[in-house]
Structure 1
Amino acid sequence: MRITVIGTGYLGATHAACMAELGYEVLGLDIDPEKIATLSQGRVPMYEPGLEDLLERHVSSGRLRFTTDWAEVGAFGDVHFVCTNTPQRKGEFAADMSYVEAAFDALAPHLREDAVVVGKSTVPVGSAARLAERLAAVAPASVELAWNPEFLREGYAVQDTLRPDRLVVGVRSERAEAVLREVYAPLTGAGVPFLATDFATAELVKTAANSFLATKISFINAMAEVCEASGADVVQLSAALAFDERIGGKFLNAGLGFGGGCLPKDIRAFMARAGELGADQALTFLREVDSINMRRRSRMVELAREQCDGGFLGRRIAVLGAAFKPNSDDVRDSPALNVAAQIQLQGGQVTVYDPKAMDNARKLFPGLSFAPTAFEAAAGAHVVLHLTEWQEFRDLDPAELAAVVAEPRVLDGRNVLDPQRWRAAGWTYRALGRPGE
């Protein structure tokens, strides 16, 4: 069995390398020649721990190749995974399906008899049924569609592909299910649960999962707002809640909130699709989830202004973090950069440092200043904002950092720094949802 992967962005490059790791011959396709050239050299155009080693090994062995030729893909593959992006439409909440539709339209004329096309992109419920009709109009009658949503966490994508919590496949025939069971036999043989559903359920698993996670994050951040109003400590509150097995501690860390290329746009697209289906009232709570998340960014700006005696003019602010989360260089909808940009617009002199996301941050916010180290970013700062929870920032020596700042004031936007350690080194420590000194 030979596999192709259509779209070699974050999801596609990871899936292609991991399918090669499982022993398959894999051909990846992208319409961007520069990206294909980079991947063909065994290099990854993004930061993801472990991915480049995997890619380099299988490109070198010849098990994994890349192309821009649709005809080559059609002739090569038995199973075709479509991994194209579904961003938020400009000016709307709905998902932009144009990349997925274009991929299906370009692939369909080249498909061989009995090929199976497998969608992995996050799409509005109902998309698979519509795309199946689109395929049937052009591809051979024996071609089948399945939907196999991805559940990757940036920073853990290789692990999540090779050791997933579960595999979900939406199918309409026993043959399509059998093909995917064969593809994933190395994983199910190791005990990974395999769930076969209809198209709509498979599509909803991904959007429902992301909506639940976003809700949990915004719930604890709503509690942080109540804690700030009442003088309680949200970190202690979260720790106490985590002991309840019905709640658990994952995604219950109060802070600056979520960002990235998935959760924000996925919950908005889910709301939009529910409205199209006449079920908009079922998801009205997601509007508040989104609103709470965005309020945390504004609150961080307010706290920074308070630490600057009510105004940013003439003040230097160090921002530690640019990626939306650690172990990634992804700056899409980054809360850290959003806060940095807001402060700069209000007159602050902002300098940003991130261990991996500097190049991407510069492209997105060329007007911000950047420094090559945390210490250089903090030099002369009146307040230091910790906004992405990289281990490097947790390991900083607060006494050494205090020696380079203008005023030792730190705002912990992720609630992971040790307050006692920083205060003992002479810092004024504040955090979202926690009482001050």
Structure 2
Amino acid sequence: MSHTKQLLRFITAGSVDDGKSTLIGRLLHDSKSIFEDQLSAIARTSERRGGTGAVDLSLLTDGLQAEREQGITIDVAYRYFATPRRKFIIGDTPGHEQYTRNMVTAASTANLAIILVDARKGVLTQTRRHTFIATLLGVPHIVLAVNKMDMVGYAQETFEAICAEYRAFAAQLGAHELTCIPISALNGDMVVERGENLAWYQGNPLLELLENVMIDHDINTTDFRYPVQWVCRPMTSEHHDFRGYMGRIESGEIAPGDEIVILPSGRTSRVKEIVTYDGNLQHAGAPKSVTLTLTDEIDISRGDMFVKPARMPRVAKEFEAMLCWLSEAPLDLNRKYFIKHTTRVVKCLFARLDYRVDVNTLEQQDTVTLQMNDIARVAMKVQQPLVLDSYGNNRSTGSFIVIDEATNNTVAAGMMV
């Protein structure tokens, strides 16, 4: 058993002034994850802003001075902290609709999403939008944190009414594992400590929930997918006949002797060795980076993928996807774009725009182009075949980015349907 602490990536999302920054500040402060000089600095800023004498913990997450002066959070601010049980990376995402792309970026790698609502306001359009994006991006665990319970007298019936409405909505989206928790980020109730005001709530405080949520099953362990990043042919005399294929196991597991299929060619071979810097392995699984050698000499290059014959992906030049447009320049159907999918880059074109989703109402609307932050269903064609899984089954091999050929900018992120 490895003694390396498991890493949980989670995002926080909510409407403006729902208390996201205060919640993250409270998590960092109460878990003893900030330095004395940081605490002193935000105490001084709190005082300068004419506070009530209490330290404004929301200042801990405001990454940019300009944002701090405007009193809003616009970028994704990543924060790292650890407890004796687990390491954490928090993506603090902005609340506004025009920053949908920021939330998409942060959610794409998250194990868990904390959706904050203000207990006085309940489930808002923003709440629905953020939940839609989290479920679209396949975030496995969702926590509805009903904040500012102190403002409604810690009333159990208020909390339960909000949870019932939210659960009904989340069920329509096929949301994964869902937990509702009442908190007061300002006073610290049910964040790191239980506090004294929410005795009627039987569940664990938020930090305990984050420390114990099971994320082992978030990685696909059944479908072996190994995109080749590099073909290793050392030039030294002692290794002149070595040929290894370097990359990261995106899902599944492998052992010497296992039969593999090389896609898109369809040739077969067996794994001879699993080579690492620290010596050869008898077994390796996702997300480990290794070098594989094969029993046969086959023409293999970067962008090819090793899979097992029992669980094959689809190899195709045409596919459908959900796409989030990230660029300030709208989609131009006459421009040339590339798709980067795992380690393969191919030319592509947009065959069809089926609809864009109104992220506030979830209504499907006809469209002839895509603007920044639009989320749409599209059909695409690529010049060379890609090895595809549905995003719901495999986040690594079911996702891609679109690159503008002229500017080399990333203009969209996509998820295979």
Same fold at TM > 0.5 = no
TM score, norm. by length of structure 1:
0.27
Which one has a larger percent helix, Structure 1 or Structure 2?
A: 1
TM score, norm. by length of structure 2:
0.28
Which one has a larger percent strand, Structure 1 or Structure 2?
A: 2
